[in-house]
Amino acid sequence: MHLIVPFAGVLSEAGRHTAQSLSLPSLEKLLARAAAGAAIGGDERSLSAPHEVALAQALGWPVVDGQLPLAARSAAADGVDVGTRSVGLLTPVHLHLGTEQVTLTDPDTLELDAADARGLFDALRPLFADEGFDLHWGAPQRWYLVHDSLADWPTASLDRVIGRNIDPWITDAPGRRIWPRLQSESQMLLHGHSINARRESQGLASVNSLWLSGCGAPRGGSGEAPRIDDRLRGPALQEHWAAWAEAWHALDAGPIRDLLTSADGHVLTLAGERRHRPYRLQHTSRWQRLRTLWQRTPVHRLLEDL
């Protein structure tokens, strides 16, 4: 088993302060009997999030920043057959226009139900079809754009952009001028759509843009795919630190404790906003575990390093 935990560590000062008060006995015991791998990553400005890189490495994919074909993998899980063509994940989003920047709000806060999402999807589909792009429905927040040009199209992960100014994350790939135009035309169509007018009258945020990510052709994987437990993701992205701590405690009492009862060789990968680090369970004597506990680095320090 390989368990990947995204947003195990965060950069927010409030989040790091919260991490100092976490009580994670199962994680402490696991770290005492695990061999730590090298921390892999760089900084928070990479296009691909560390947990996505960890998944790609576990699947045996070549890792190129911003070019991990996660959309194709998600499409397959949603039952969308794209064959061997390249695909990108198209997420309906709300961009908040501030005084100095445009911020992408968390799509999970949109309360976008299937009926509204489908209505907007159907309205946009002909626009993309006119340019030779196929648009496929996966779920209210997961639409799939299919076109051969998406084979090596670098894009920023949605997890990088949520809650932040979008400007640093807008990629300018040579020969890809069509996307800014399509996005602009999509925004104009969404602006005047009756579904958005109704949503705004009900006090709901409009769907006023789209975010493209995870582009590439489908790839297979080597070995068993890791399990990703993303319960920390929502609270971290929304900066709800009490909920993040509660999710950490549930994670510690559940999947991480379960790992402790498993056979040696299983892996826990903790991922933050800058890097990820794997921990492989191995057989250790009681004395070795006690000595490791005495000499251990506090858990919150390990999380801060992510």
User: With 50 as the cut, is the pLDDT of residue 295 above it?
Assistant: no
Among 194, 214, 218, smallest CA distance to 206 is for 194
pLDDT score of 226 more than 60: yes
State percent of the chain over pLDDT 70.
93
Q: What is the mean pLDDT of residues 13-21?
A: 95
Mean pLDDT value across residues 63-82: 95
Tens digits of residue pLDDT in 148-191 = 889 888 999 999 999 999 999 987 765 567 888 899 999 999 99
For the chain, what's the residue count? 306
> Considering only CA atoms, which of 3, 7, 19 is closest in space to residue 234?
7
Cα–Cα distance measured from residue 106 to residue 237, given in angstroms and rounded to the nearest whole number: 7
pLDDT at residue 66 above 80? yes
Is the pLDDT confidence value at 300 over 80?
A: yes
Lowest mean pLDDT among 88-102, 119-133, 284-298: 284-298
pLDDT band at 289 (very low <50, low <70, confident <90, very high): low
Look up tokens 């695909």; give the residue: 87
Burial class (CB in 10 A: 0-12, 13-18, 19+), 119: middle
Could you tell me which residue, 297 or 239, shows the higher pLDDT?
Answer: 239
Reduced to 3 states (helix: H, G, I; strand: E, B; else coil), residue 207 is coil
Annotate 237-280 with three-state secondary structure. HCCCHHHHHHHHHHHHHHHHHHHHCCCCCCEEEEECCCEEEEEE
Flag whether pLDDT at 89 surpasses 50.
Answer: yes
Residue 297 pLDDT > 90, yes or no?
no
User: For residue 34, what are the β-bridge partners?
Assistant: 281
Identify the pLDDT of residue 175.
53
Count of CB atoms situated within 10 Å of the CB of 298: 12
Distance, first Cα to last Cα, the chain: 22
Q: What is the pTM of this model?
A: 0.93
Q: What pLDDT is attached to residue 42?
A: 84
Say whether pLDDT at 229 is over 80: yes
Task: Give CA–CA dist 221/219, Å, rounded.
Answer: 7
The DSSP H or E segment spanning 93 is strand 87-93
Q: What pLDDT, on the 0 to 100 scale, is given for residue 87?
A: 96
Work out the mean pLDDT of the chain and round it to a whole number. Answer: 91
Mean pLDDT of 216-237: 91
216, β-bridge pairs = 87
The predicted model gives 65-75 an average pLDDT of: 96
Q: Of the ranges 71-75, 152-156, 177-181, 274-278, which one carries the lowest mean pLDDT score?
A: 177-181
Neighbours of 176 (CB within 10 A): 15
Q: Considering only residues 217 and 288, tell me which one the structure prediction assigns the higher pLDDT.
A: 217
Domain residue ranges in the chain: 2-61+223-304, 70-216
